[in-house]
Amino acid sequence: MDETNDKNRFVNDTDMRPMREETAAELAEPIPFPRNDVSEEVDRGVQEGEGGRGLGYSGLISSILALFMLPVLFGAIGVVLGFMARRRGSEGLGAWAIGIGVVALVVGLFVLPFF
């Protein structure tokens, strides 16, 4: 290159070093990686509703405990775990945990103070 083109390629006005960088682009096609059997089983489990089964049972147990002791604490925990279970695919257990937890909360907050 001649000197006239190099004068226009300075980094800035105070630094008078020319930019002489090498740039490259990939020309190769990306290598596809085959999916292994473990990831497919995990994907199937989430689609079939097995992902939130543990959360659903935990929420259901917590909601049932809320009917007998500490209804505000265990009821709130049961409702939260029920929503998490429904999001992970276990809709039946999550709905029961939410329903029983809400009933326990309502009884604990509005009915029990009058007795």
Q: Is residue 78 part of a domain?
A: yes
- The more confident residue out of 1 and 80 is 80
Q: Residue 89: inside a domain, yes or no?
A: yes
Mean pLDDT of the chain: 78
pLDDT, tens only, 19-68: 666 666 666 676 777 766 555 555 555 455 567 899 999 999 999 999 99
CA distances for 96 relative to 2, 16, 44, 80, 85, angstroms = 79, 72, 24, 12, 10
Q: Looking at the domain assignment, is residue 63 inside a domain?
A: yes
pTM for the full predicted model: 0.57
Q: Is residue 75 in some structural domain?
A: yes
In a domain, 110, yes or no: yes
Give the per-residue pLDDT at 87.
93
Least confident of 15-19, 67-71, 81-85: 15-19
- How many domains in the chain? 1
| Contact residues for 53 (Cβ-Cβ < 8 A; gap 6+) | 85, 90, 93
Q: Structural domain of residue 74, as residue ranges?
A: 51-114
In a domain, 7, yes or no: no
| Distance of alpha carbon 12 from the chain centroid | 45
